[in-house]
Structure 1
Amino acid sequence: MMKTPLLVILLTLLGLKAQAIEVTDSLGSHEFATAPQRVVTLNWAATEQVLELGVTPLAVADVTGYRDWVVQPALAEGVADVGLRQEPNLERIAELRPDLIITGDQQQDLVPRLSQIAPVLHFESFSSEHNNADAAREAFVQLARALDREPQAEQRLAWLDARFEALKGRLHQHFGEQLPRVSVVRFVDTRHVRIYGDNGMPQYALARLGIAPALPQPVSQWGQVQKKLTDLGAIRDGVVLYIEPFPEKDKLFAMPLWRAMPFVRAQRAAAVPPTWTYGGIMSLGYLAGNLTESLLSIDPQ
């Protein structure tokens, strides 16, 4: 049972009523008497979002994975690790006495048990039924409201819009008026690849930079389609950017099949530093920045 905040008690004694903070997540509406201070995030997108709002979470699910795959924004040392995203340590979370737990995609089944520990906000940001970027922006706005960080959210979103424009300018300065068509991929193994398409965060980032896809893919929940590596051969005059890490990179790049790809022969492939492609709205800024730096390594043709 949560303790009543001291501020609420004082206002009650004075005959005043604190205005509740109203927040809407994927499960409905919620009210908070005061902004939560002790926050646990069990989804990497949620972790990213609260960090962007200037809030350091009390604990995070899979700290090591966040630092390997998400990277930005950086997670401070000392943040507690409460286990895997799909199997968090409920006893450890309860010991930390949070006043808010935030969950995300594919974690809805955890909500009933977590709600016995503290209030839960749950955001399903990835679906083929909606625009994933718009859903991520709305989740960011709602979290800012819950944490009393709305001015910070406005500043960060303004920064994001300005960043897109600045990066677009750099790309035009490098390539000229016509920007190349680009497809972003993650290698699954040496025979399969995930190609990002409509509703994918990389595609949203590219669109904001004024770039069209080299190999368009249909709308899907996560904005990606798994294909055979040979399907990349259809990219004749575009650019392929592959997101790291991929442990079998050297093996793949030594294969005759890879070296025969038209974009490889034309030296129009480049690596992208580890960047999370299933994150919140601000992840688009990091994606756009890393994609731009990779594109600038390719000679204009």
Structure 2
Amino acid sequence: MKCIGVVRMAGLAILLCCLATNARAQPRIAALSWEMVEHLLKLGITPVAVADAPDYRSWVVHPALPPGVPNAGTRTEPNLELLAQLRPELILITPLLEDIRDKLERIAPVVSYDDFTQDQDNLLMQRENFLALAQRVGRTPQAHQQLAAMDDSIARMRERLIQHFGAQLPDTTVIRFASPTVVYINGPNSMPQHAMQLLGLQPAYDAPVSRWGNIQTSVTVLGNIDDGAVLYIEPFAQGERLFATQLWQAMPFVRSRRFAGMRSTWTHGGVFCVEYLAAAITDALLTLPPRH
């Protein structure tokens, strides 16, 4: 068994060397997690197959997945037969699929990247995942250029907020409604809060730490936000039903006109989702009146 493991590692090393050597060519890589899809696309690599491809196009959206990329089953149950037919050079997974690694390795070498956890900085983890992938495929310079461009873009967004609100930016919390009575509040280690921190914003609600960075709670809890802005991720089909109630109209942030919708943006993505979130947060906040 030890010998087999050595052979596998040697084969993977040879493959990765070939991928790096032929960096300008399009390597044949299958991505079974959406974060890896985002990272490949930002490196200029179109995956040969993507798990839950239709849902990626609906929920993640950016960066755009070309229409010709086939769906490789689901992220929990990938289509092994299709993957074998496509003959990828490399398959990217997260720990979610470690239990079928042996089956996947019969098709192609497999590399697993860390996923969201409560005990690490999720933004830093995704940044490191992106750089590690770039190194594997020989596109490290391009990766650093993309990260630098993102950092510059977010810095410009922060300047726009300062021009609008002044040096004292409003404390802000990003939420998503599950129903008129239940809400998800994004808190520490969520990608929305990481985006807020990069923009120089502080949270308006002190949520506990969790794996994905959000908690599910009653809408009434939002009444504890005495001072600050609340942004909700659209769409919310039952918004009119909730927003017309006396309970909602009595919320401090509603009475002070510190409540706004924020365009739909994926909150559990790769490193670049913080840029998309920062842009959506900035645009939503700029619809609110500055304090004088």
Relative to the length of structure 1, the TM-score reads 0.86
Q: Which runs of 5+ in 1 are unaligned?
A: 1-19, 23-29
Instruction: Supply the AA of the counterpart residue of 1:108.
Output: E
1:41 pairs, out of 10, 16, 31, with 31
1:290 pairs, out of 274, 280, 283, with 280
**Are 2:113 and 1:123 equivalent residues in the alignment?**
yes
**Are 2:173 and 1:183 equivalent residues in the alignment?**
yes
* Counterpart-to-counterpart distance in 1, 2:136 and 2:62: 23
Partner of 1:280: 270
TM-superposed deviation, 1:114:
1.4
Instruction: Supply the AA of the counterpart residue of 2:146.
Output: R
1:269 pairs, out of 237, 244, 259, with 259
1:224 pairs, out of 193, 211, 214, with 214
2:63 pairs, out of 73, 93, 105, with 73
* Counterpart-to-counterpart distance in 1, 2:276 and 2:159: 16
* Counterpart-to-counterpart distance in 2, 1:114 and 1:216: 42
**Are 2:60 and 1:97 equivalent residues in the alignment?**
no
Given the superposition, is the C-alpha separation of residues 105 and 267 from structure 1 closer, same or farther in structure 2, using an over 3 Å criterion? Answer: farther
TM-superposed deviation, 1:31:
6.4
* Counterpart-to-counterpart distance in 2, 1:191 and 1:97: 48
**Are 2:22 and 1:32 equivalent residues in the alignment?**
no
Given the superposition, is the C-alpha separation of residues 34 and 189 from structure 1 closer, same or farther in structure 2, using an over 3 Å criterion? Answer: same
2:44 pairs, out of 47, 54, 78, with 54
Given the superposition, is the C-alpha separation of residues 189 and 107 from structure 1 closer, same or farther in structure 2, using an over 3 Å criterion? Answer: farther
Q: Is the 8 A contact 2:42 2:63 kept in 1?
A: yes
Q: How many residues get paired?
A: 276
**Are 2:126 and 1:163 equivalent residues in the alignment?**
no
Q: Is the 8 A contact 1:242 1:271 kept in 2?
A: yes
- 1:100-158 CA distance string (max 9 Å, x none): 11112533333232122111111123111111111111100011011211111010111
Given the superposition, is the C-alpha separation of residues 251 and 97 from structure 1 closer, same or farther in structure 2, using an over 3 Å criterion? Answer: farther
Q: Is the 8 A contact 2:16 2:137 kept in 1?
A: no
Given the superposition, is the C-alpha separation of residues 65 and 245 from structure 1 closer, same or farther in structure 2, using an over 3 Å criterion? Answer: farther
* Counterpart-to-counterpart distance in 2, 1:163 and 1:137: 16
- 1:242-297 CA distance string (max 9 Å, x none): 11233333333333322322212222111221211111111111111111011111
Range moving further from structure 2, 218-227 or 178-187: 218-227
* Counterpart-to-counterpart distance in 1, 2:63 and 2:148: 17
Range moving further from structure 2, 249-258 or 126-135: 249-258
Instruction: Supply the AA of the counterpart residue of 1:32.
Output: L
* Counterpart-to-counterpart distance in 2, 1:122 and 1:246: 35
TM-superposed deviation, 1:218:
2.2
2:234 pairs, out of 236, 244, 250, with 244
Q: Is the 8 A contact 1:70 1:274 kept in 2?
A: no
* Counterpart-to-counterpart distance in 1, 2:234 and 2:99: 31
Instruction: Supply the AA of the counterpart residue of 1:69.
Output: W
Task: Percent identity, please.
Answer: 45
Given the superposition, is the C-alpha separation of residues 69 and 175 from structure 1 closer, same or farther in structure 2, using an over 3 Å criterion? Answer: same
Q: Is the 8 A contact 1:199 1:222 kept in 2?
A: yes
RMSD, aligned CA: 2.0
* Counterpart-to-counterpart distance in 2, 1:58 and 1:150: 21
Given the superposition, is the C-alpha separation of residues 40 and 264 from structure 1 closer, same or farther in structure 2, using an over 3 Å criterion? Answer: same
* Counterpart-to-counterpart distance in 2, 1:67 and 1:177: 38
Relative to the length of structure 2, the TM-score reads 0.89
When you count helix as a share of all residues, which structure comes out higher? 2
**Are 2:152 and 1:172 equivalent residues in the alignment?**
no
